[in-house]
Amino acid sequence: MNIRDIAKICGVSPSTVSKILHNKDKDISIETRKRVLEVIKEYQYVPYSKVIKSVSPKTNIIGVVLSSDAYGVQDMLYSIEKTASDNGYSIMVCNTEGDRDRTVKCMKVIENKGVDGIIAIYQDEDIIGSTAVPAVCVFDHKVPAQQRKTADIYYEMRDVGYLATSFLIKNGHYEIGALLLENDAEIEEGYYRAYKENFLSPRKEWIIRGNEEDIISIGVHKCLNNDITAILCADAIIGNVVYDRLRERGDMGRISVISARDSTLADKMNPKLSAVSISPSEIGKTAVESLLHIIEGKKPVYESRKKIEAKVIDRESVDTPISNKQGGKLVVVGSMNMDCMINVSNIPTDGETLRSRNIVMLPGGKGANQAVGAGKLGGKVYMIGRLGNDSDGKEIYNSLVNSGVKTDGVVFDDSIPTGKAYINVAADGKSTIVIYSGANEKLDNGQVKQFEHLLDDARYCLLNLEISEQTVAYTINKCKKKNVEVILKPSSVEKISESLLKNIDYFIPNEKELKQLIPDDMTIEEKAEALIKKGVKNVIITLGEKGCYLRNEKYSKYFPAADFHPVDTTGAADAFISALAVCLSEGNDIIYAICFATYAAGISITRQGVQPAMVDRVGLDIYREEINALYANSLQQRC
């Protein structure tokens, strides 16, 4: 700043300012003199500062321009002062309060003091870039370096969103909510990138952005009502509100929480809040060191730009989902089809032609259905199956991945299309199915052998007879050698060899399948008894709206169906089997597992389709009291 700058601000001539500075202002009005002196004082103008600077080129003072309410600025300032002091410099601080005009003024004040360099924290890059003094700028984003006179110390908020979301995914979370502020677009971008790299797709309703007031009053409640197992919060303040809501719901510990910004509050919360940290102290130290390199001629500006890397601070608020943590490993070996759902008024009879009001293509197949059902409930589930290398196959694959299924054993076949199922769904929810096996035909012993390592340490293997009986028999043999219990759903068959039956731990047919396998005029109890005598450990016969029947060495027991209005019953059995397997893998007894599975099946019939109708853990836990009541009643009934 010089005399001309003062004159321009005051609206007087440079000679008037000069006269006042040299006490030759007798002919100048009191009002003008007062106005000029106030501006000189406000801008802390030092006459001949450039001359003084040239005579004594170093003041060993660093000017710091900041907004006192900016993120981490207090810790940053402490670090700047310490690093400067350790290197023989002092600092002069100017608070802009986030105002552009005040920033311009602060820059002029600091320059008038003859500082050796300037550190600007979260300030307008154009204003700082116009200074003639060596300067370092701190930004929360990368600024193009072309033709910039300043050295930038920066970090990127997209890295924050990416690291936080990746950390949650690595801990087994695939349904992650996000409560972000209006200016957190880069955090959201990182959130999406982490999902994409893990071949997952978040739902749009999981992400809520807005001002802090709206997030706290509406957004937290809205987010928690989604099917999520973890939440990424913009900061610890929002994280603390999430904690309060979780305690009110009795869900503390069931949902993991992480903050995109670390703070002292995060470390004081109970449990301590995990967070992504971009160390303000490291930023401050790096800014001073870079500025000193420029001032002292050790490095040019373009070599003094540096990126500060974010890192996750793992405290106590992130854990694996409860079901993943408790449940044993499940492996599904079975069919995967693209289902063509055809809605009709009634199931067509011989020679009858019907018009359909709606046709929908959805991922299906009993193997894929059961894997998705188990995955949505938080099961640790792996899939072994075969798809055509076509658009249907890729859609089914994505459905598996998005449901948390491990697809290590899935093979894409270039020589044959993905299997298909043509399903007639009547107005009363009943259905019939015609299957084209497609790539499922080539799910053979060789593929099972290739991926048999997936059976290591597994608790249960889920099988169905939409694939060849030879492949099923081979898989069962591998399971027996590895002490893996077998759950088998018979379908599309009229006969099963007795050598197969004796190695089945859980055999789960419906009434029609049971009648095909044992056409004799016998009661359900008698047919179940016959299967037990052939070596099956547990027989569970699903009876649709009448519930199911269990027979084993200890029990001969009926269970009522859950009271839900049917829309589409196609996937009820697969929902039942997948929920049964997950519940058993978590160490529950068979009676509780059947009650649990009964409600999973009941919820599924209220929705169209199969895989989209599968309930997740949050949705099923809503009926926890009803499940517990059914369990208590079942234990009290005589066998």
CATH number at residue 8: 1.10.260.40
Element (H, E) at 118: strand 117-121
- For the beta carbon of residue 470, count every other beta carbon within 10 angstroms: 10
Q: What Rg do the C-alpha atoms of the chain give, in angstroms?
A: 35
Question: Is there a single domain that holds both residue 150 and residue 99?
Answer: yes
Q: Are residues 291 and 369 in the same domain?
A: no
**Within 10 Å of residue 427's Cβ, how many Cβ atoms?**
12
Query: What's the CATH code of the domain at 495?
Result: 3.40.1190.20
90 & 121 share domain: yes
CATH code for the domain in which residue 163 is found:
3.40.50.2300
Query: Where are the alpha helices (H) located in 377-425, listed in sequence order?
Result: 391-402
- Measuring CA to CA, which residue among 580, 574, 578, 575 is closest to residue 593? 580
Looking at the domain assignment, is residue 319 inside a domain?
no
Give one DSSP letter per residue of 337-382, joined into a string.
EEEEEEE-SS---TT-----SEEEEEEE-HHHHHHHHHHHTT-EEE
Q: What pLDDT was estimated at residue 252? A: 79
3-class secondary-structure state, position 260: coil
Give residue for tokens 């056409």.
519
Structural domain harbouring 557: 326-636
Distance, CA of 620 to CA of 583 (rounded, Å): 12
Q: How far is CA 101 from CA 67, 106, 485, 622, in A?
A: 13, 9, 73, 55
Residues 491 and 374 both lie in one domain: yes
Those residues of the chain that have pLDDT short of 70 are 1, 41, 43-57, 125, 129-130, 145-148, 322-326, 492, 494, 638-639
Q: Are residues 627 and 539 in the same domain?
A: yes
Distances (CA, A) of 135 to 129, 307, 370: 8, 16, 62
Residues 134, 170: one domain? no
Together in a domain, 242 and 189: yes
Q: Based on the domain organization, do 266 and 336 belong to the same domain?
A: no
**Inside any domain, residue 321:** no
Residue 574 appears among annotated catalytic residues: yes
pLDDT in tens, 423-479: 887 887 777 888 899 999 999 999 999 999 999 989 999 999 889 999 999 999 999
Partners of 425 in the β-ladder: 343, 431
First to last CA, the chain: 96
Domain presence at residue 122: yes
What's the pLDDT score for residue 55?
Answer: 46
Q: Is 507 left (phi over 0), alpha (psi -120 to 50) or beta?
A: beta
Same domain? For 34 and 140 the reply is no
Q: Is the Cβ–Cβ distance between 98 and 67 less than 8 Å?
A: yes
SS3 per residue for 514-546: HHHHCCCCCCHHHHHHHHHHCCCCEEEEECHHH
Residues 6+ apart with CB under 8 A from 104: 127
Given the residues 574, 589, 616, 621, the one annotated as active site: 574
Q: Is residue 192 part of a domain?
A: yes
Distance of alpha carbon 158 from the chain centroid = 15
Amino acid identity, position 398: N
Is the same domain home to 235 and 146? no
Tokens of 207: 């992400």
Residue 204 placed within a domain: yes
74 and 36 in a common domain: no
Displacement of CA 136 from its chain's centroid (Å) = 36
Evaluate whether residue 50 is within a structural domain.
Answer: no
Residues 369 and 497 reside in one and the same domain: yes
Residue 316 in any domain: the answer is no
Number of domains in the chain: 4
SS3 of residue 452 by DSSP: helix
Distance, CA of 175 to CA of 512 (rounded, Å): 37
Query: Which pLDDT does position 21 carry in this prediction?
Result: 73
H or E element at residue 490: none
Q: How many other C-beta atoms lie within 10 A of the C-beta of residue 163?
A: 20
CB neighbour burial string for 202-240, b if at least 16 within 10 angstroms, e if fewer: beeebbbbbebeebbeebbeebbebebbbbbbbbbbbbb
Residue 320 in any domain: the answer is no
